[in-house]
Structure 1
Amino acid sequence: MRTTNKTAYVKRNILSGVLFGLGLVAFLDEVIFHQILHWHKFYDRSTTNIGLISDGFFHAFSWLATVSGLFLVADLRRRDAFSYLLWQGSVLLGAGTFNLYDGIIQHKIMRIHQIRYVDNVIIYDVIWNLLAVALMIIGLSLILQSKKKMKETI
């Protein structure tokens, strides 16, 4: 693998990882919290039918992001420009960013749903958002580590 080729495609590696991470964690959210545990729907401020339709759109978004990220990975591999460490960090960054957006914007500001409808929801909110921040920090550290390794090998 040529390092110079990888450095020319750093942004595309990051974009592919972020898209895949967003899509993957959105898919897991949909399956675990919406379908298996029945904690909430994507949009809980209306009827159950509207909630199911909103879940369908959410599910379509998650697959679109996931597949788009994988198409970019395939293109990077074809060009011999795929950096696995950079991609791993970007996946975690995308996953954490989605969860933090979900936890702050959708749960608290827009109030389109809560993570769970219980009396002490703050416990769930704190854990959800701390996990998101941890994923983002780990992801950013892997991205920086990967970029440093690329610079050292040039």
Structure 2
Amino acid sequence: MHTLPSALERRIFNKAGYLTGFALGGFFDGILLHQVLQWHHLLSAVDRAPFGDLRMQVLADGLFHAAMYVIALIGIWMMIRSRTWLARNGSGRLLIANALIGFGAWHVVDAVLSHWLTGIHRIRMDSPNPLFWDLLWFAVFGILFIIAGIALRRRAGLTEGRGGTIASILAAITAAGAAASALPPSSADLMPTATVLLRPGASPAQLLAALEQNDARIVWNSARGDVWVFALGKNSNASAFYRHGAIFVSGTLLPAGCASFLSTRRPEGTI
């Protein structure tokens, strides 16, 4: 008769699923978005020398995939170490559930770090509204996969109530990214900014009418007029834009990392 696996083996088994799923998330991103659809490279928004060269962009993608291989190999090694767990009823479902959580975690981490904090790339670099694609990818391949994994863990009957902990950790990562991006610029020469997304049917004229009373000026706007970036003065209140047609307002440094590569799309008359 087989003895029950130790608590250590169980933790290793769980980590194996998380790491394998995380690596699969990276491979999914790299293969589909970098190579098949060619929507972006890892460093697409970094155009200073030598990264503007396509060969350097491809090299960065290759190093990224190599890192995912290392993470996948660590996950497989952990799975082999905890292989006695595979004989337990429901363990296969638990492994898949953990992999789903890891897969979703990759997209959460990628969105927070790569899209919104460092701004090294966006999901669709050629889109006039990159925030839409970032949020869509974040929700579908990040949040939904994590929720599916947590639900499957509970159905597996082998959990210890850690699903909520996992969700809390990932929520904290996302909140930390949002908080960090909301910090004021480190340079005294830069003004704080607000990224404003208009709700459907709202008129840009309604939003622009609020500029003078809100002590703000235009930095950038999308070609369709649904996304705006404003530099805020000392007396500005970013939340006031909600009263003038905004559905989302972020007091953030996002434009420095994500709107700069769209500067060629600025309509005439913007600053």
TM-score by length of 1: 0.85
Matched with 1:135 is 145
1:119 maps to 128
Match of 2:32 in 1: 32
Percent identical pairs in the alignment equals: 25
- In the TM superposition, residue 24 of structure 1 has moved relative to its aligned partner by 0.9
Residue in structure 2 matching 1:53, options 59, 71, 76: 59
* Root mean square deviation of aligned Cα: 2.1
Distance in 2 (CA, whole Å) between partners of 1:150 and 1:99 is 24
- Structure 1's 112 and 6: CA in aligned 2 closer, same or farther, altered over 3 A? same
2:115/2:121 contact within 8 Å kept: yes
- Structure 1: which amino acid aligns with 2:92? Y
Greater share of helix: 1
Q: Distance in 2 between matches of 1:95 and 1:87?
A: 12
Q: Which structure is larger by alpha-carbon Rg, 1 or 2?
A: 2
Partner of 1:108: 116
Structure 1: give runs of 5+ residues left out of the alignment. none
4+ residue runs of structure 1 moved beyond 4 angstroms?
none
Q: Distance in 2 between matches of 1:95 and 1:37?
A: 20
Contact 1:96 1:134 in 2 (8 A): yes
The 3-state SS of whatever aligns with 2:82 is helix
Evaluate the alpha carbon distance shift between residue 81 and residue 2 of structure 1 in structure 2; reply closer, same or farther with a 3 A threshold.
farther
CA offsets per residue over residues 102-138 of structure 1, 9 Å max, x none? 1122111110101111102222112111120111111
Give per-residue Cα distances to partners, 1:6-50, cap 9 Å, x unaligned.
755221111101111111111121111101111111112031222
- Distance in 2, Cα, partners of 1:115 & 1:3: 48
Greater shift, 7-16 or 40-49, is seen at: 7-16
Aligned to 1:98, which of 106, 109, 113? 106
Which residue identity lines up with residue 64 of structure 2 in the other structure? F
* One-letter amino acid of the counterpart of residue 121, structure 2: H
Pairing 1:81–2:89 present? no
1:150 is displaced (CA, Å) by 6.5
Q: Which amino acid aligns with 1:86?
A: L
Contact preservation (8 Å) 1:42, 1:54: yes
Contact map agreement 2:17 2:99 (CA 8 A) in 1:
yes
Q: In the alignment, which residue of structure 2 is the partner of 1:11?
A: 11
Asked if the contact 2:42/2:60 (under 8 Å) is kept, the reply is yes
TM-score, normalised to structure 2, is 0.50
Count of residues in Structure 1 that have an aligned counterpart in Structure 2: 148
Which stretches in structure 2 are left out of the alignment for 5+ residues? 161-271
